[in-house]
Amino acid sequence: MSGGGWREVGPGVFQRRYDPLDVSVGAVLGPHGATIIDTRNDPAEAREIMHDVARRFGQPVVAVVNTHAHYDHTFGNQVFARAGIPIYGHYLIPRHFEQFEGPRLDLVRERPDLEPEMSWSQVELTPPTALVDSAQVVRPGGRELELLPLGPGHTDTDLAIRIPDAGVWFLGDVIEESGPPMFGSGSYPLGWPLVLESLAERIQDTEVLVPGHGAPVDRAFLVDQAGRFSALAAVLSQAHAAGATLQEIEFGQALRGYWPEEFLKEAAADAYRQLSGS
Ligand SMILES: [Zn+2]
C-alpha cells in the first residue's frame, strides 16, 4: 500500500511512497537541510515533494540524488536544478536519457494516450548536475551519504545510497517489494544477480533497505531476490548456449510463479540481445 505520508526508516531518514506508481522518495535530514532521493514523474509532482518536505520538516532541500535514470525517478529533476540544487546521479544517466527516456518522452508527447497517467508536456530532460563514476562520500546539509555506482542490473545507471549513521540504504529498482522486479528499458538480466550479490556482501543484517517501489525490506529479502535472478540468468544463458529461440525457453515453475510471463519474455529479449552483442 502506498500513501500515508513520511515514514521514518532510520534516525532522521524518511521514505514517502507516492502515487502514481507507488514510487519511493527519500528525505535524509542533516543539520543544515534535507537531501531528497528521486524526483518522481514530472515537474508538478516534484514541486509537491518540495512542498511536502518544507511542511513536514521545515528544512530547505540542499541536494538531490537519483537512484537511476528511469522517468519515474528523474522527470522532476528540472524543478531542483532550476532552484540551483545539486543533483547527484550515475555518470551514465545522460547516455541512458539519449537512448531511452528521451525517445520515450518524444513518443508520448506525440501519443499521450500511451501513458495516460503521465503529464509530460512540461518535462525538460534534466540529467544530474554531479555525475558519479566511482564510490564517494558526500555531506549535503552536513549529513554523510555514501554514493555507490553499481554495475549493469536494473539499468546501467543504478546507484546505491547508504546513510551510514542510520543503517539505511536506498537501492532504487535494483530491488522491488510491491511487485516483481521489472525488465526492459535498458535492463541487464545477466548482470543483475551479480549486482545483488555484491550488495549482499556490503549490507549488514540490521540495516534497512528502501526499494524504489514498496515497503522497506532487509538483507534476507535482497538475498532471496538475488537467488531468483541468479536462477533466471542461468536459464537464459543455458538456453542461449543451446541455441533455443526466445519462444522455446523453458523457464520452469519457480520462475513462472515469481514473474509474470511478459516480464520473463522481456528479460529473455534483453539477455539475448546482450549475449549476441547487439
Ligand atoms: Zn521505478
Report the range of poorest mean pLDDT among 1-5, 91-95, 153-157, 264-268: 1-5
Domains and CATH numbers, the chain: 7-275 (3.60.15.10)
H-assigned helices in 91-242:
93-96, 102-110, 192-202, 219-241
CA of residue 243 to ligand 1 center, whole Å: 33
CA of residue 213 to ligand 1 center, whole Å: 6
pLDDT value at residue 118: 81
Assigned C-alpha cell, 268: 529473455
pLDDT digits (tens, 9 = 90+) for 223-259: 999 999 999 999 999 999 999 999 999 999 999 999 9
Q: How far apart are CA 106 and CA 178, in angstroms?
A: 29
CA of residue 70 to ligand 1 center, whole Å: 6
> Which chain residues have CB less than 5 Å from ligand 1, an ion?
72, 173, 212
Q: What SS3 class is residue 207?
A: coil
Length of the chain: 278
CA of residue 242 to ligand 1 center, whole Å: 33
CA of residue 241 to ligand 1 center, whole Å: 31
pLDDT digits (tens, 9 = 90+) for 66-116: 999 999 999 999 999 999 999 999 999 999 999 999 999 999 999 988 888
Assigned C-alpha cell, 191: 548482470
Q: How far apart are CA 146 and CA 65, in angstroms?
A: 11
Cβ–Cβ < 8 Å for 218, 247: no
Cβ–Cβ < 8 Å for 86, 110: no
The CA distances from residue 178 to 1, 181, 200, 212, in Å, are 8, 9, 20, 9
CA of residue 184 to ligand 1 center, whole Å: 12
Residues with Cβ within 8 Å of residue 46, at least 6 apart in sequence: 39, 40, 75, 76, 77, 78, 79, 80
Indicate the angle between helix axes 192-202 and 219-241, nearest 10 degrees.
150
pLDDT value at residue 112: 87
CA of residue 59 to ligand 1 center, whole Å: 26
pLDDT digits (tens, 9 = 90+) for 140-196: 999 999 999 999 999 999 999 999 999 999 999 999 999 999 998 889 999 999 999
Indicate the angle between helix axes 219-241 and 261-275, nearest 10 degrees.
60
